[in-house]
Amino acid sequence: MQNRTIATHPFDDQKPGTSGLRKKTRVFQQPNYLENFVQAIFDSLENITGQTLVIGGDGRYFNRSAIQTIIKMAAANGFGKVIIGQGGLLSTPAASHLIRKNQAYGGLILSASHNPGGPDEDFGIKYDVSNGGPAPEKYTDAFYQRSQTICEYRIADLDDVDLDTLGEQGSDDFGIEIIDPVSDYAELMQQLFDFPLIREAIESGSITLRFDAMHAITGPYAKCIFEDLLGAAPGSVINAIPLEDFGGGHPDPNLAHAKELAETMFGTDAPTFGAASDGDGDRNMILGRNFFVTPSDSLAVLAANAQLIPAFKQGLVGVARSMPTSQAVDRVAKDYGIPCYETPTGWKYFGNLLDAGKIALCGEESFGTGANHVLEKDGLWAVLFWLNLLAVKGEPVSEIVHDHWRKFGRDIYSRHDYEAVATDIANGIFDHLREQLPDLPGQTFADNRVKYADEFSYKDPIDGSISRNQGIRIGFENGSRIVYRLSGTGTVGATLRIYLERYETDTSKHDQDAQQALAGLIELAEQLCEVKKRTGMNAPTVIT
Ligand code: VG1
Ligand code: CO
């Protein structure tokens, strides 16, 4: 095997965001762009010689060719072995599991998650460390630093690898193993949940199921788990074949993008349970018949009922949520007397807490839920958790959530996204908000008296690292909150996210429409940030 060293020049924009580096596919396809970033990662890691690297992606356009390049670079940089999902496919949680199971050094996951795919859409790459979790900030900072000074990369003169044939290829000093992407993951799920009980509920017809894989990575996993192992009727998994462009849609599991599923679940003769996942399989959307479960509520319901699931028989040691996620799970933690941590947005901040055994369950408002079985959020795992719960309780989804609200109150919640805002306007909005922060506490807007107004920063309780500027929070005496953040996953301009929540204990008001219930806060949020005024947009691009 001949290694070559190729001269290159830095690109100035290789700073990883909330979850890896995401750019337009054509940016990644520029000569040396992918190579530079991969070499910057390899250069930042220590002692990789002879180690194992897991590689896989969500199957989007450019996945296969990126994987061929990465394999050759891994060989030239001294890795001893690569483990690759067949066809170059691995869901993010499955990749995390494989890293852990094989005691690999780390993994490279090719995905831009819920962003659309194709030659004119998005591509992405992220690195997971040996615990199977996303590289913490100290790594991603190092990757970026290295990318700014890089002047060469190393690549081996290897033939393209046959990604489709299972088994071992390669040589004694560089092993290449193509594995079935689904089987290890499906086996893990069977250890965590009561499959016979769920199967019985599905076979008896008490649970009827529709899962929308959105032409993304979870198709083959969902077919195996729901249809083959749990006996759901063939066709229960829709849009099951991963496509390079996800069929032209956004593989983003929300009511706006998972239209087909939403129509079914809110139509006549809806199944009792519906769910969807995103491009790389780490997000989940949960629906009942005629009922949408907000991700923040889902996290709280799972936390409150965790002991009904085999994996959590002993209860939870602690929970965590990202800062903008609603405070619903805090109420459960308080009731159970367990700690609840508040972290910045992005799964990488949960890793230390999970690893240190401080928490067993965590989640984000952006349709992400997960636990300590892998160190990524896990879409199908969350769906199985709900199925297990439904099988134990024998109640409809809406009843379970209403019961929860009766006990804990409802945190009425919504997120408004303004996409593709010009960067200078977005910065202006934040400067304007920052100027107001010192004067807000004590002011009253309608029935909302401001308790605190600040910019969130987080000190990791395990390694003491500090992450600043993680979003602006305005909290009110009555428990309501408005949070403003700029997205770190977009590829065009800036995306402003406004998170709104209001706490409601009056059960007669629990069925209110969230947009109506939050109307006052929505108006106040605009008054304070002026996004509509400054951009000329008259409505959010997406409301979830
Ligand atoms: C978004 C979500 C965040 C999530 C991240 C990655 O980030 O808000 O909660 O962790 O996507 O999820 P941002 O910076 O755009 O708000 V995924 O499924 O895209 O890997
Ligand atoms: Co994702």
Joined tokens for residue 79: 């890795």
User: 360 CB contacts (<8 Å, ≥6 apart)?
Assistant: 306, 312, 316, 317, 318, 319, 354, 371, 372
Per-residue pLDDT at 33: 98
Distance 114 CA to ligand 2 centre (A): 6
Closest ligand to residue 20's CA: 1
- pLDDT tens for 78-135 read 999 999 999 999 999 999 999 999 999 999 999 999 999 999 999 999 999 999 999 9
Q: Using an 8 Å Cβ cutoff, are 20 and 137 in contact?
A: no
- pLDDT tens for 516-538 read 999 999 999 999 999 999 999 99
Distance 528 CA to ligand 2 centre (A): 31
Report which ligand 1 atom has the smallest distance to the Cα of 377. 18
Joined tokens for residue 446: 């309608």
d(C-alpha 78, C-alpha 231), whole Å? 45
Q: Name the active-site residue from 113, 236, 298, 366.
A: 113
Distance 365 CA to ligand 1 centre (A): 9
Per-residue CA distances from 164 to 107, 197, 242 (Å):
19, 35, 15
Pocket test for ligand 1, best of 489, 499, 541 (most atoms within 8 A of CB): 489
d(C-alpha 56, C-alpha 49), whole Å? 20
Report which ligand 1 atom has the smallest distance to the Cα of 280. 18
Give 86's Cβ-side CA count (13 Å radius).
Answer: 13
Nearest CA to ligand 1 atom 19: 113
Nearest to 199 by CA among 395, 390, 398, 400: 390
DSSP state of 287: E
Q: Measured in Å, how far apart are the chain's first and last C-alpha atoms?
A: 51
SS3 515: helix
Report which ligand 1 atom has the smallest distance to the Cα of 112. 19
CA 367 to chain centre: 7
SS3 209: strand
Q: Where are the beta strands (DSSP E) in 90-151?
A: 106-110, 122-128
Assess whether pLDDT exceeds 90 at residue 489. Answer: no
Per-residue pLDDT at 269: 92
- Annotate 307-334 with DSSP letters as a single string: GGSGGGTT--S-EEEETTS-THHHHHHH
Assess whether pLDDT exceeds 80 at residue 309. Answer: yes
Per-residue CA distances from 381 to 42, 111, 189, 311 (Å):
31, 19, 7, 11
- pLDDT tens for 212-235 read 999 999 999 999 999 999 999 999
Pocket test for ligand 1, best of 128, 278, 345, 417 (most atoms within 8 A of CB): 345
Assess whether pLDDT exceeds 80 at residue 244. Answer: yes
Joined tokens for residue 352: 């230390």
Query: Tokens 């079914």, residue?
Result: 264
Give 359's Cβ-side CA count (13 Å radius).
Answer: 28
Per-residue CA distances from 468 to 137, 344, 433, 473, 495 (Å):
12, 9, 16, 13, 19
Nearest CA to ligand 1 atom 3: 346
d(C-alpha 420, C-alpha 408), whole Å? 37
- Ligand 1, pocket residues at CB < 6 Å: 18-19, 113-114, 278, 282-283, 322, 345-347, 364, 366, 368, 487-489, 497
Q: Rounded to two decimals, what is the model's pTM?
A: 0.95
Closest ligand to residue 279's CA: 2
Joined tokens for residue 361: 């369950």
Assess whether pLDDT exceeds 90 at residue 499. Answer: yes
Nearest CA to ligand 1 atom 20: 113
Q: Using an 8 Å Cβ cutoff, are 169 and 16 in contact?
A: no
Known catalytic residue: 113?
yes
Assess whether pLDDT exceeds 90 at residue 266. Answer: yes
